[in-house]
């Protein structure tokens, strides 16, 4: 009788655990942000630091506050207008990331 009771209890516990598992699936850790989300956040951070006049572009003078930006400014400034836009910085960083994966 005791053995039967223990078996039934174990079966009930297993069934409850199996049925409850999907209910807790939403409690899993959130997925890591997509690379494009990380890139956009990084670009926003760079602009927050360097775009002193908040005009949406970084001049060569503003870039001088960031050693890496100052060093790569002419390469990042794709249209060579003297300013780096968010699109230009995003493209340069995406290309650098793609080359790093090779």
Per-residue pLDDT of the chain (102 residues; tens, 9 = 90+): 545 443 444 444 445 454 444 444 445 555 555 668 899 999 999 999 999 999 999 999 999 999 999 999 999 999 999 999 999 999 999 998 888 877
pTM over cut 0.75: no
Q: What is the pLDDT of residue 68?
A: 93
Place of tokens 């598992």: 21
Strands (E), the chain: 57-59, 83-85
Q: List the chain domain ranges.
A: 35-101
Task: Return the CATH number of the domain spanning residue range 35-101.
Answer: 1.10.238.10
Place of tokens 């009788």: 1
Give the count of alpha carbons within 13 A of 93, CB side only. 20
Q: What is the pLDDT of residue 97?
A: 85
């Amino acid at each position: 009788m005791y053995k039967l009771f223990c078996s039934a209890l174990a079966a009930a516990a297993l069934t409850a655990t199996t049925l409850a598992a999907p209910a807790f699936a939403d409690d899993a850790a959130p997925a890591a942000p997509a690379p494009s989300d990380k890139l956009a956040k990084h670009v926003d951070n760079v602009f927050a630091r360097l775009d002193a006049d908040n005009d949406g572009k970084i001049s060569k003078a503003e870039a001088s506050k960031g050693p890496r930006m100052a060093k790569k400014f002419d390469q990042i400034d794709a249209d060579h207008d003297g300013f780096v836009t968010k699109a230009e910085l995003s493209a340069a960083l995406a290309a650098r990331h793609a080359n790093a994966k090779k």
